[in-house]
Structure 1
Amino acid sequence: MSLLRIAETTCGLYYSYDRDLTLNLQRASKLAAGRIHKPLWKQADPRFVWNKNLLEELIEAKLDEFIIPLIQGSFQSAQFTLKDRPVRITLFSRRCNRRLGTRMWRRGANLEGATANFVETEQLVEYEGLTSSFIQVRGSIPLLWEQIVDLSYKPRLSIIEHEETPKVVQRHFHDLSQRYGETVVVDLTDKRGDEGDLSNAFAAEMGRIHGVRYVHFDFHHVCHGGNFDNLQALYNQIEEAIQKQGYFLMDSKGEILLEQSGVVRSNCIDCLDRTNVTQSFLARKSLDSQLQRMGALSSSESISISDNNNDIFKKLWVEHGDELSLEYAGSYALKGDLVRYGRQTLPGLIKDGMSALSRYYLNNFHDGVRQDALDLISGYYTVSQGSTSPFQTGGFESASYLPVASAIIVGGITATTFTLSQVGRNAQHFISSIICAGLTVGVVALVKANGKQFCSRPRLCGLI
């Protein structure tokens, strides 16, 4: 029951009684007339139905009127004025359920090519009877890799050597091409350290994929110091492709005027902070084009000419990033200042520090159980009668000793500090200090050496 209670606290769930939220505007507008009159669950894209597994018995019983698809993602909407006319902008994101999970326990891809934290984000613009849609996607690097928590702040990345890796990458991008058309991959990872190794492996696999353009952009290096405007260098590389892909546009009668023919797929390691900053930059470029085509802006104007309107747009993307980050990492997004102000501020640094600490705690001591809850609710783990519970260990359970170890460490540091302050009085205090310090160091070494065992980890399903 505890897993079900955890599942009940899942954030970012949305539903509608009369509209299919799983389909973006372009796909929905091109549905066959007969399909529109079918029950919502029959119209829905199964990738984005969060409660797909929970609906199976209702579907078998043909209780269509009780079947309501849920999606997990984000929804933000705001209105501003251009040329004395209202403009409505909406951000709507849909999280894929095919590799559902938490930040550290669902990385990379599975053997079918589905990636962790795969999200389709749609930017909708409404003006004077015209409606426009611009789609971007994000998703973990589609290789087989892991990053197991071990109490360190940044656990080591590990690429899983597997003979299926080339096929995994092919399956992933074949699926993207079939659904979205021409794909441009923007890899925002570092070129050094473990990230660099993963990025190099990704680039090598992309060299074997035909028809997909791969662009590496070292976000931390190029935007060092929080200079958001340096993303213009990335845009200059892919501007022609983005303009060719375009966006979707239809009039008040439902007549399709333009279609989006491709998609930009962005990723960093988590597909959260750097990815959100980059997607917001590309979305602002598209918004200018959308509003110019609709007649709300002239060909030389930009949304940034109005500070108020620009701030509204930035706020939408900050809130969008926070919501997606809460769902995957359990904390607010980092680098929100770069979206809101184009630079890092002191309050933003403090907020990022708090979010980083929150991520550390949740990833190490909570997300294993949360992953089990998601695996159970999504049907990746099924309970069968007579089977042994994976939670019945019957042996040494390291995690249960962590509070004791922590208390010993804190107590040891306190005792060592106190006895050191008394060393000048007699030799006994000096010996006590050595004993306390030795005990503390020993416990710290024990915890560090067994970091993985002291962390919360999932029991129901494997990593791939």
Structure 2
Amino acid sequence: MSKPVWKQADPRFVWNKNLLEELVENMLDGFVIPLLQGSFQTGHLKLKDSPATIALISRRCTRRLGTRLWRRGANLEGDAANFIETEQLLEFEGFRSSFLQIRGSIPLLWEQIVDLSYKPRLNIIDHEETPKVVERHFHDLLQRYGHVVAVDLTNKQGDEGLLSAAYAAEIQKLSSVRYVSFDFHHCCGGSNFDNIQLLYDQIAEDFEKNGYFLIDTEEKIILEQRGVIRSNCIDSLDRTNVTQSYLARKSLDSQLQRLGALSCISMFTEDFEIFKTMWVEQGDEISLEYSGTHALKRDLVRYGKQTMTGLIKDGMSAISRYFLNNFQDGIRQDAADLISGRYSVNRDSPSPFGNNGFDSLSYLPVASALLIGGLTVTNITINQGRNTNSILSSAVCAGVTAGVMALVKSNGRQICSRPRLCGLL
């Protein structure tokens, strides 16, 4: 007799595990339906009149779930934020293959608290457990996936550079993991997407050695995937998605060549478009779940270069991310912590939503009105003339407006939407 569905599911990816506990305890297996969050895409390829089906499945881990800026890095157990397992499946003439990749936040203890800045400062938390956190994270990966190549796509300048250097210093203590640093923005910025081949050249030997999973028409295992590429950028979203789509294409080409279908999927325009669309839509869905907006750099996946339309869409998504991260993600984080069971309601404890500081939803409109009003009055008084009274009035209004702006900026962390239920780690 086969196991119930919930027992077959990997508990790392079951989002309603906490809500199912009572049903499990009462052995109501037929009602226990595990839910996953991530992405599922499928497409049908023609391949020289030899139809094939390709699917893309991404599963988001629940161990450190949350929103973009409120769940960064890893917790003390070594669980990384935005950890996602992505599997590309192919079925062709009875043969079935699978190629697996993973992504996740840099597994150090670090934070990036919203404070109304467009890009809040990164802060690496100085903690005695940091080496153990990195070790725990990669020990788990090695046990599950075999050989691990950690590809770090972050910038090598500024705050990202400091974080990347700290990551490199810790991971190089682990002899069983290979670390590869690739500054994506520096190497592939502008229209230089083809330079991602430079990254592939660095990991080609490991990539080919890791291979992929393949079974024949009689379900006999021909090949097994021996390892995995773990990719990350600062969010493990946009740059990571571009990189993973490129590696997935390399693996797909290898699989199709072995099966005698064709030498390169990019030779067939219609099939290649299906492949790219799947990866674009997958990137969008994962980004929506973590950041609240569509992915950036979608054009690099679809066209291999940035277009003006793509830049405009990226700009709109960036503005949306700014608003969501600063004024809504605190509530979203609380919802995730509550549903996942990380926070348990205790009727005897005081409400965590009591009045403990600024309320961003009520304070922000007042601050915005004062700023807009101050700028408007300043502009009106300037246009009234250059007499002493007008100049004095303009100076006073400008001073008040500047003071309000300084007050808002200095209280940025209190004004922004913050989670109330659980701490950062």
TM-score category (smaller protein): over 0.9
CA offsets per residue over residues 137-164 of structure 1, 9 Å max, x none? Answer: 0000000000000000000000001111
Q: Tell me what 1:371 maps to.
A: 333
- Following TM superposition, by how much is the alpha carbon of 1:439 offset from its aligned partner in structure 2, in angstroms? 1.0
Quick check: 1:180 aligned with 2:142? no
List 4+ stretches of structure 1 deviating above 3 A: 394-399
Three-state SS of the structure 2 residue aligned to 1:253 is coil
- Aligned partners of 1:224, 1:392: CA distance in 2, in Å? 46
Matches for 1:7-156 after TM superposition, within 5 Å: 37-156=2-121
Q: Which residue of 1 aligns with 2:413?
A: 452
1:245 aligns with 2:207: no
> 1:398/1:50 Cα in 2 relative to 1: closer, same or farther (>3 Å)?
closer
CA offsets 1:395-437 (integer angstroms, 9 cap, x no match) = 654652111011110111111112111123x432222211211
Q: Secondary structure at the match of 1:215?
A: strand
Preserved contact between residue 63 and residue 79 of structure 2 (Cα < 8 Å): yes
Aligned residue in 2 for 1:199: 164
Q: TM-score of the superposition, structure 1-length normalised?
A: 0.90
> 1:226 Cα shift?
3.3
Residues 360 and 417, structure 2, Cα contact 8 Å, conserved in 1:
no
Task: Give unmatched runs, 5+ long, in structure 2.
Answer: none
Aligned to 1:19: none
Q: Is the 8 A contact 2:357 2:414 kept in 1?
A: no
Which of the residues 209, 213, 221 maps onto 1:256? Answer: 221
Distance 1:52 1:371 in 2: 18
Match of 2:260 in 1: 295
Cα deviation digits, residues 155-177 of structure 1 (max 9, x gap): 00000011111010000000000
Instruction: Say if 2:146 and 2:226, in contact at 8 Å, map to a contact too.
Output: yes
**SS of the residue aligned with 1:265?**
strand
Question: 1:291 and 1:395, CA in 2 relative to 1: closer, same or farther beyond 3 A?
Answer: closer
Residues of 1 paired with 2:189 and 2:48: CA distance? 38
The match for 2:398 among 420, 437, 453 is: 437
Tell me the amino acid that sits aligned with residue 304 of structure 1: S
Which residue matches 1:416? 378
Q: Which residue of 1 aligns with 2:366?
A: 404
Structure 1 stretches lacking a partner, 5+ long:
1-33
| Equivalent residue in structure 2 for 1:219, among 170, 184, 196 | 184
Secondary structure of 1:92's match? strand
What is the alpha-carbon distance in structure 2 between the residues aligned to residue 229 and residue 404 of structure 1?
49
In the alignment, the residues of structure 2 paired with residue 182 and residue 398 of structure 1 have an alpha-carbon distance, to the nearest angstrom, of 46
Q: 2:234 aligns with which of 266, 269, 285?
A: 269
CA RMSD across the alignment: 1.1
* TM-score, normalised with respect to structure 2: 0.98
Q: 2:150, 2:179 within 8 Å by CA — same for their partners in 1?
A: yes
1:358 to 320, 325, 342: 320
Preserved CA contact (<8 Å) 1:106 1:116: yes
Whether the 8 Å contact between 1:227 and 1:338 is mirrored in structure 2 is no
What is the distance in 1 between the residues matched to 2:167 and 2:210? 24
Q: How far 1:441 moved relative to its partner?
A: 0.4
3-state SS of the aligned residue for 2:51? strand
The Cα of 1:384 is off from its aligned counterpart by 1.3
Aligned residues: 425
Letter in 2 for 1:443: V
Give per-residue Cα distances to partners, 1:21-63, cap 9 Å, x unaligned.
xxxxxxxxxxxxx6xx110111111001011111101101111
